[in-house]
Amino acid sequence: TLITLNLECNRIEHVGAQYLANGLRNNTTLTTLNLGQNQIGASGAQHLADGLRHNKTLTTLCLKSNQIGDVGAQHLANALRDNTTLITLRLEFNQIGDVGAQDLAKGLRHNTTLTALNLDNNKIKDVGVQHLTDALRRNTTLTTLDLDSNQIGDVGARHFADALRHNTTLTTLCLGGNDIGDVGAVHLADALQHNATLTTLNFASNGIRDVVAAQHFADALQHNATLTALSLHNVRIGNTGAQYLADALRSNITLTTLNFHNNAIGVLGAQHLADALRYNT
């Protein structure tokens, strides 16, 4: 009995997606379908959304790199309102903007089964983030949200910071490769002091240029008791930032993974980190 079907990197397009969607309506065994990089477009996404309304077994759907855009995202978002089995939806590299994010947020308000949503490498800005974070205040099932490599700035980071103070289910948040600067970083770091569920935060390759942001992340690590993985690679924290974070490691007892790749840390920063390792257990 077939439970996993991988059709990535073919030429299925929207017509092939329609055939597959029709098959999903009656299929009762398939749990994973990968249609990444198949040029299905918005119309193909619409066909699959129709299939999801009737299917009761599919748990993972990958539609990455299919140019579905905001229109395709809207169709899938509408399907999320009715679908009660899908737990993972991958929509990375799909040219989804703020309008598509708004529709997906509406779907999340009603959906009670989706646990992972991947939207990395799209075109979502602060407005789209506001809609998504508003949904997070009500959604109680989503545990993983990937928004790496979008166009999120300080305002969007502020929205996430506010959401983290209220949300009690999200465990993984990926915001790497956006346009978040020192102000947004400070908001997020301060929110970590109040959040008790997030375990993984990717903040790599953002626009931190001031050690104040690193200091706030360090303060958060001294108070946060749930975060286990923090990625700050390529944010140029330097020796002073490394010192702040090293001091936090002396008292933090939960962090297990810390990524400082490409941060202009020299001998002095390495010394501070080495000293911290003597105390971190």
- Which of 43, 45, 83, 86 has the alpha carbon at shortest distance from 63? 45
* Structure tokens given for 185: 């970083």
Number of separate domains in the chain: 1
Residue 210 confidence (pLDDT): 84
Q: Tens of pLDDT along 121-132?
A: 999 999 999 999
Mean residue pLDDT of the chain comes to 97
Mean pLDDT calculated for residue range 143-161: 99
Mean pLDDT calculated for residue range 171-189: 98
- Which of 151, 227, 214 has the alpha carbon at shortest distance from 182? 214
Q: What is the CATH number of the domain that holds 77?
A: 3.80.10.10
* Structure tokens given for 252: 């933090």
Identity of residue 68: I
Three-class SS of residue 61?
Answer: strand
Residue 4 confidence (pLDDT): 99
Residue 102 confidence (pLDDT): 99
* Structural domain that includes position 216: 4-279
Mean pLDDT calculated for residue range 41-68: 98
Range in 35-39, 207-211, 230-234, 239-243 the model is least confident about: 207-211
Residue 281 confidence (pLDDT): 81
Q: Tens of pLDDT along 228-251?
A: 999 999 999 999 999 999 999 999
Mean pLDDT calculated for residue range 159-164: 97
Residue 235 confidence (pLDDT): 93
95 in Cβ contact with 128 (< 8 Å): no
- Listing DSSP states for 139-162 in one string gives -SS--EEE-TTS---HHHHHHHHH
Q: Tens of pLDDT along 41-53?
A: 999 999 999 999 9
- Which of 116, 123, 124, 47 has the alpha carbon at shortest distance from 78? 47
Q: Tens of pLDDT along 93-114?
A: 999 999 999 999 999 999 999 9
Q: Does 162 score more than 90 pLDDT? A: yes
Report the predicted TM-score, pTM, of the whole model to 2 decimal places.
0.97
